[in-house]
Amino acid sequence: MMDQTGPILRLFEVQTKPGCAAKLLDSFATTSAAVVMGRPGNQGYFFGREIEAEGDKVMFVSVWANLDAIKAHFGETWQQSFLPPGYEEMIAHCSIRHVDLSGGWHVDGALTSREA
């Protein structure tokens, strides 16, 4: 494994069960946000829905200072999807990926849903 100096993007991708995307996005705004917000090494999060007419794919993305911060927060299961109570009933399939952003990234300013 290469040395991941960070920041690291933790990408949780979900294929929801039919009709569950909106409910899961609501849960991302509260429950998933609470899982990462203010935790040591967390630098923020965002979430959204696939831009397709029948889009039942959603994602929750958190940004971490480095891989050590992710491992410290999620423990030995850091490479597995963390599913808070009630999530399984909305999810048909999910995956977790980690992306090393140390090669470069730039964001011109965050928009909240109210500003978009």
In a domain, 2, yes or no: no
**Residue where the block lists tokens 């949780």:** 12
CATH number at residue 74: 3.30.70.100
Q: Is 116 a domain residue?
A: no
Report the pLDDT value the prediction gives residue 1, as an integer from 0 to 100: 45
Q: Kind of pairing, strands 57-64 and 42-49?
A: antiparallel
Q: Is residue 113 part of a domain?
A: no
**Residue 64, amino acid:** W
**Residue 100 · residue 31 · CB < 8 Å:** no
- Mean per-residue pLDDT pooled into runs of 10, the chain (116 residues): 73 94 94 93 93 84 95 94 92 95 74 50
Residue 67 lies in a domain: yes
Which region holds residue 35: left if phi is over 0, alpha if psi is between -120 and 50, else beta? alpha
Domain limits for position 57: 8-100
pLDDT of the residue at 114: 47
Predicted pLDDT at 103: 82
Residue 115: inside a domain? no
Q: Is residue 42 part of a domain?
A: yes
The answer as to whether 108 is a domain residue is: no
Is 96 contained in some domain? yes
For the chain, the domain total comes to 1
Q: How high is the pLDDT of residue 104?
A: 81
